[in-house]
Amino acid sequence: MMRARASFAAPIALLVALAGCASATEAAPSPHPTLERELPSDLTARGVLIAAVLLSEGDVERGVADGLVTPAEVDEAIRAIERDELDVWVQRSERELADD
């Protein structure tokens, strides 16, 4: 009985080791393009997030009129909401804040 357990132990250990090597060599997923692309001058991550809040809770037209957000930021917020990508804009905003 002990010999049978020992004969299974070596192949199992080998499979575990190989699985560990395979996962270690897999490439990390590439970052979302929104995190990497250069934004036009009328578009900021902060503005996109504010526009998203205004779209859901406030008066976006007034936000544009008051200069709080740009029309480009409103358009991008709409796209982000439709694509469920607001979290990407949060990441970009955090990066921008860290860089300042």
1-50: per-residue pLDDT in tens? 444 444 455 555 545 554 555 444 556 777 888 878 899 999 999 999 99
Question: pTM for this structure?
Answer: 0.69
Domain ranges of the chain: 33-99
> At CA 49, angle to CA 43 and CA 54, rounded to 5?
105
The pLDDT value recorded for residue 39 is 92
What angle in degrees, to the nearest 10, is found between the helix axes of 86-99 and 45-57?
140
Query: What separation in angstroms does the CA of 5 have from each of 14, 16, 17, 90, 98?
Result: 15, 16, 18, 52, 54
Spatial contact of 42 and 72, defined as CB atoms under 8 Å apart:
yes
> Mean pLDDT, the chain, as a whole number?
81
